[in-house]
A and B are shown apart, each in its own frame.
Chain A
Amino acid sequence: SQTIHQWPATLVQPVGSPLSLECTVEGTSNPNLYWYRQAAGRGLQLLFYSIGIGQISSEVPQNLSASRPQDRQFILSSKKLLLSDSGFYLCAWSKGFGNSPLHFGNGTRLTVT
């Protein structure tokens, strides 16, 4: 069966510091990978998605970037965090065909202070 791992679970970072969140998927090959963010009391916002190694699509302009160095690895980064980057970050995967649902990792709760 497929599993998705996301870490860390909780992170507190000062404004201006860098960020790196990692996500890996096991048990499937060539998945579609996604990063979502959920601000407190808000809905999920799609940040990035990737259909293959090195292929990243950005949904909204922001202070973040994403990379996919390996088939089942997806990384979310920032060079300098802003207070507005605080939120619940969720990595997800789906099968690379059809109208497939998403399966989420446990999420990272980021607080920028």
Chain B
Amino acid sequence: RKEVEQDPGPFNVPEGATVAFNCTYSNSASQSFFWYRQDCRKEPKLLMSVYSSGNEDGRFTAQLNRASQYISLLIRDSKLSDSATYLCVVNRRAGTASKLTFGTGTRLQVTL
């Protein structure tokens, strides 16, 4: 079983739609969680951290369920510019280093 699993998509949604991605992780010792966004042929960029109580940043809402070991990302009022691959990332401490494991990503295509 992969350490971090995501539905690869693609999710094709019209502009203005709400879309949700889920991600599951296998290592219960995982300590912190993130969502990254990666545009085609570019480096991943941090979208948001995921906190236990859930957190929101504008149109984006992240949730964490430690008991079920899954993370979610909700995007409201989708924009064309939201089209990208969204990477679920799980962090496990290794001494003082952060060992982040990336999911393979969920591709989102927002259309007119």
Contacts and interface: CB of A to CB of B under 8 A. Distances in A.
B97 A44 contact: no
Contact of A109 (B41, B95, B96): B41
A105 B43 contact: yes
Contacts, number: 59
B72 interface: no
Interface residues of B, number: 26
A32 B104 contact: no
What does DSSP make chain B's interface, helix, strand, loop or mixed? strand
B96 A97 contact: yes
What does DSSP make chain A's interface, helix, strand, loop or mixed? strand
Interface residues of A, number: 24
Given A43-B105, A49-B97, A101-B49, 20 more contacts: A36-B102, A43-B103, A49-B99, A51-B95, A51-B96, A51-B97, A88-B41, A96-B96, A99-B93, A99-B98, A101-B89, A102-B89, A103-B46, A104-B44, A104-B45, A105-B43, A106-B42, A107-B42, A107-B43, A109-B41
